[in-house]
Structure 1
Amino acid sequence: MTDGDKNTTLSSTSDILVDLQVETSSRSQKIQKFVPFVVLAVITAHFAWATQYFIVETDDVLRHTCCDGYGFLMILYIFIAFGYSYAYLIKPYMLGPVSRCLWEPFVEKIAKIFGARYVYAVIHLIILGVILAFLIYDCWDEPERLIPLAGLAILLIVSFAFSVHRKQIKWHTIIWGMILQFVFGLFTLRWETGRRIFACVGDKVTTFLGYAKEGSAFVYGDKLVHEYHIFAFEAISTIYFLAFIINILYHVGIMQRVVANFGMFLRAIMGTSVCESVNSAANIFLGQTEAPLLLKPYLINLTGSEIHSVMTGGFASVSGTVLAAYISYGANAAHLITASVMAAPAGLVFSKLLFPEIEEPETFEDNVALVESEFSSVLDAASQGASQATQIVLGILANLIAFVATVYFINGVLGWFGGLVGFTAEDELWTIELIVGYIFTPVSFVLGVPWPECTKVGQLIGLKMMVNEFAAFSKFKEMDLTPKSQVIATFAICGFANPGSVGIMISTLSALIPQKSHLITRHVFRAYFAGTIVCFATACIAGMLSA
């Protein structure tokens, strides 16, 4: 066989292999399109089976099984069915025509009659007036519950005073963000059904995270985990399990879809850009280092205001991977989840109040797609998630040891100085908790904390701002607070706005977008300030709506 024949044969073989690869890829894509519907069919079949069993074989009442039993399964099925309908029917085929045929003509007619500028102003005033009237009526017999309303007004005024471009503030974003925050709070804190739903969700989260204890007990032994309840072996080990699950959800695309849909909801209501809206939604579930990764290719195109929003969202919320640690300190799971949800719109509100958009964003809904998974399989995603959690665990433990030791060192020095001037009694010793408690007592008061407990909650706020939220929650566990103060304190300290997180934020974003490092370092402390205010704002809402 000549060299020419060999080359021809090799070329033909190569062409055949390419065709096979294309055919295999096309077949794989077709199969992947059918997988979601096969899963839905299986879920539907099980739901029908469970429905038949519930009606025929049991005597349970539906409302008594809404958190555990057939009722809970029905709620899950409704959510899943709606998700499928929205993704494959409503969004691609119905949403656009409905908007063009009904909503847009309606807005145009109203705008012609009244003028768009005045119409939206009137709508905003009506909604705010209804909310204010409800609060006055609801607090008529307890006027002290309106104190957090004054606190919220103070936070807005302070943020406006420190704004870098006051004339560029989009008040539509601010007003609708506050409305969303209030609606979320009303649904979860005052509406009995909403409270039950989030209490049920909180119980399920606690139960779910509790399964990690079995894995931890297998490795470390039952005594360390179940009997002695050692923090490093019981609560912190849960992070491995949660990182394992999150990576699986990320690989199969569920996490991206949930985050994208909630982000688009925030964008539609508040008018913020795609990237900052999706990042705020991601911060409900992910931490300040993980959330920006969902939009990694587009970070380089973000404006200064969008980068500020990304950082604010990271400081204003907490990661789902650390919820177990806070719960182990006595925090209510439902309150932690509520605080994370409320922080999403609130983060955009105070970010855009302190640093309004003055540039033209380059990322839009039609040119942004969430990053796909880089893992080769579900097993690869799961194992890497558990391995990557090691860095998180070591970081938490190292920070706890270092910061708590620093607090004790400072307390030793302060106690020595105080002792030299006569403050030697145990309840008179100078400590950092005592000092920051007095400093933040006025803040606690405007959040709605009863005056006798303001100093205690002030200590928690001070520890969270000066050390970290772990130190604050560990102190929270030792305090004897009333239920209302516990709720307000949980909201006020549920965020990553602390000195250590500033360094983490700078290093993470600078590694992702080194070209924007000058903007990151310039605005990081403003974002830290905004994230702190967001926690106070959600605490104000909780203070107003907590009975």
Structure 2
Amino acid sequence: MYFLLNILGLIVVTAVVYLFSPYKKKVKWRPILSLIVLELLITWFMLGTKIGSWVINQIGSFFTWLVECASEGISFAFPSAMANPTVDFFFSALLPIIFVVTFFDILSYFGILPWIIDKIGWVISKASRLPKLESFFSIQMMFLGNTEALAVIRQQLSAVNDRRLLTFGLMSMSSISGSIIGSYLAMVPATYVFTAIPLNCLNALIIANILNPVDVTKEEDIVYVPPKEEKKDFFSTISNSMLVGMNMVIVILAMVIGYVALTAALNGILGLFIQGLTIQSIFSYIFSPFAVLLGLTGHDAMYVAQLMGIKLATNEFIAMSDLKTQLDSLPPHTIAVATTFLTSFANFSTVGMIYGTYNSVLSGEKSAIIGKNVWKLFVSGIAVSLLSAAMVGLFVW
């Protein structure tokens, strides 16, 4: 019964997004169905085969190694803090970002990461028959993050029409960044994080092409390649990367502190009117129907619904920190769908980040397309997370 609910969840989420689409007659279902089949194969491979399990373990070991390398640098700067067996969130999840960002930028500098993005993007473009730039962008987000990926294609963004600009904004709601994965692994199971990453990329394409289908000519279907003149020297690159990583740490820390404090303040105000009323309890009821469609019931459905609300109103770090404390008491299916849903940047602050990026790399007139379609960005982000969670839920019981 719950398995059928999970399948129904996939259908209902897709149908709801279709109802929101202002271009229903232009939706092309063939490439969307191709992507769904590809998702099923990827999820089965990652969760249902020994080879897939081995691949996840190897990737997990790689990111564990990255975090261990980062810990060496953190221990040098904060020896007493790292000597504590119960290292807190700031040292275990945030500070490693500095090294991970630098490492990925080194891969980009020597052309390794762009080569991987190019090949995987080409495969997705051929399999889905969707535009090359959008396909490449979905992969770029997976490794670089939404704002970084937007900056990489800034030259091409200035040449595309408003409809395609909106597509990139919609897709940006569903990304994560390779530099942040180590932080996730400190809180939730690696298996579902690494399964969610490719699913989010493909679902971002699906949702964007339902909400905002766009016809692209062959002449327009090109990918911008930055000229060699834009490349800085190696030491300037890694030094800048470290500063970028530190900036990310400060921004994330500020958001975590601010949103947790804001949530506590709002809960205190709500409690003045109704005893025990909190934002978490409100979100539990709003998102509980979606949690049920993920094959959850009773307490688990309400708890995952609460995590959904926390993530969308604040960020995934706060929700994952809560989930981490409950992992030992939850069944595998609940852990799988909850972790998968939380593995993305879809929240209020991400809309501001996307708008700010558009405003900085494009004209104010072009960036207005984001401000006019904020509701579409939220629909896209929530729908992608739900589809990915429902897809993973089919294979974990």
TM-score by length of 1: 0.69
Deviations 1:450-483 (A, max 9, x none): 4331011111001111121122112112223222
Please report how far the alpha carbon of residue 148 of structure 1 lies from its aligned counterpart in structure 2 after TM superposition.
Answer: 1.1
Please report how far the alpha carbon of residue 441 of structure 1 lies from its aligned counterpart in structure 2 after TM superposition.
Answer: 1.5
Separation of aligned partners in 2, 1:148 and 1:282: 30
Are 1:209 and 1:238, in contact at CA under 8 Å, matched by a contact in 2? yes
Please report how far the alpha carbon of residue 294 of structure 1 lies from its aligned counterpart in structure 2 after TM superposition.
Answer: 2.2
For 1:408-419, what aligned pairs fall within 5 Å after superposition?
A: 408-419=264-275
Are 2:155 and 2:224, in contact at CA under 8 Å, matched by a contact in 1? no
Separation of aligned partners in 2, 1:289 and 1:368: 16
Deviations 1:187-223 (A, max 9, x none): 1112232123213322332232222111101101143
Name 1:175's counterpart in structure 2. Answer: 33
> What SS does structure 1 have at the residue aligned with 2:145?
coil
Does residue 1:350 correspond to 2:207, yes or no?
yes
> What SS does structure 1 have at the residue aligned with 2:295?
coil
Name 2:354's counterpart in structure 1. Answer: 505
What count of residue pairs does the alignment treat as equivalent? 394
> What SS does structure 1 have at the residue aligned with 2:158?
helix
> What SS does structure 1 have at the residue aligned with 2:109?
helix
Separation of aligned partners in 2, 1:320 and 1:225: 27
Change (3 A) 1:532 1:372: farther
Please report how far the alpha carbon of residue 539 of structure 1 lies from its aligned counterpart in structure 2 after TM superposition.
Answer: 0.4
Name 1:131's counterpart in structure 2. Answer: none
Are 2:98 and 2:245, in contact at CA under 8 Å, matched by a contact in 1? yes
Does residue 1:199 correspond to 2:46, yes or no?
no
- Structure 1's consecutive aligned runs of 4 or more residues displaced over 4 angstroms after TM superposition are 358-362, 370-373
Separation of aligned partners in 1, 2:109 and 2:177: 18
Change (3 A) 1:200 1:226: farther
Are 2:44 and 2:395, in contact at CA under 8 Å, matched by a contact in 1? yes
For 1:378-389, what aligned pairs fall within 5 Å after superposition?
A: 378-389=234-245
- Could you tell me which runs of 5 or more consecutive residues in structure 1 were left unpaired when the two chains were aligned: 1-142, 420-428
> What SS does structure 2 have at the residue aligned with 1:202?
helix
For 1:90-129, what aligned pairs fall within 5 Å after superposition?
A: none
Are 2:332 and 2:396, in contact at CA under 8 Å, matched by a contact in 1? no
Are 1:437 and 1:459, in contact at CA under 8 Å, matched by a contact in 2? yes
290, 296, 310: which is aligned to 2:154?
Answer: 296
Identical counterparts, % of pairs:
26
Change (3 A) 1:249 1:305: same
For 1:120-519, what aligned pairs fall within 5 Å after superposition?
A: 143-224=1-82, 226-329=84-187, 331-358=188-215, 360=217, 363-365=220-222, 368-370=224-226, 372=228, 374-419=230-275, 429-479=276-326, 480-514=329-363, 515-519=365-369
Separation of aligned partners in 1, 2:257 and 2:20: 35
Change (3 A) 1:498 1:264: same
Separation of aligned partners in 1, 2:233 and 2:80: 33
Are 2:9 and 2:390, in contact at CA under 8 Å, matched by a contact in 1? yes
Change (3 A) 1:358 1:204: closer
Q: Which amino acid aligns with 2:301?
A: C
Deviations 1:479-502 (A, max 9, x none): 232222111001111111111111
Change (3 A) 1:248 1:226: farther
Deviations 1:266-314 (A, max 9, x none): 1111112121111101111121111112222111122334223322222
Q: Which amino acid aligns with 1:519?
A: I
- Could you tell me which runs of 5 or more consecutive residues in structure 2 were left unpaired when the two chains were aligned: none
Separation of aligned partners in 1, 2:278 and 2:260: 13
Are 2:131 and 2:216, in contact at CA under 8 Å, matched by a contact in 1? no
Q: Which amino acid aligns with 2:81?
A: K
Does residue 1:521 correspond to 2:371, yes or no?
yes
Separation of aligned partners in 2, 1:252 and 1:409: 48
Are 1:492 and 1:539, in contact at CA under 8 Å, matched by a contact in 2? yes
Change (3 A) 1:454 1:475: same
Separation of aligned partners in 2, 1:147 and 1:464: 23
What RMSD over aligned residues (CA atoms) do the two structures have, in Å? 1.9
TM-score by length of 2: 0.94
> What SS does structure 2 have at the residue aligned with 1:440?
helix
Are 1:280 and 1:313, in contact at CA under 8 Å, matched by a contact in 2? yes
Separation of aligned partners in 2, 1:334 and 1:381: 32
Are 1:206 and 1:333, in contact at CA under 8 Å, matched by a contact in 2? no
Are 2:74 and 2:82, in contact at CA under 8 Å, matched by a contact in 1? no
- Whichever of the two has the greater Rg, that structure is 1
Separation of aligned partners in 2, 1:478 and 1:512: 41
Change (3 A) 1:364 1:521: same
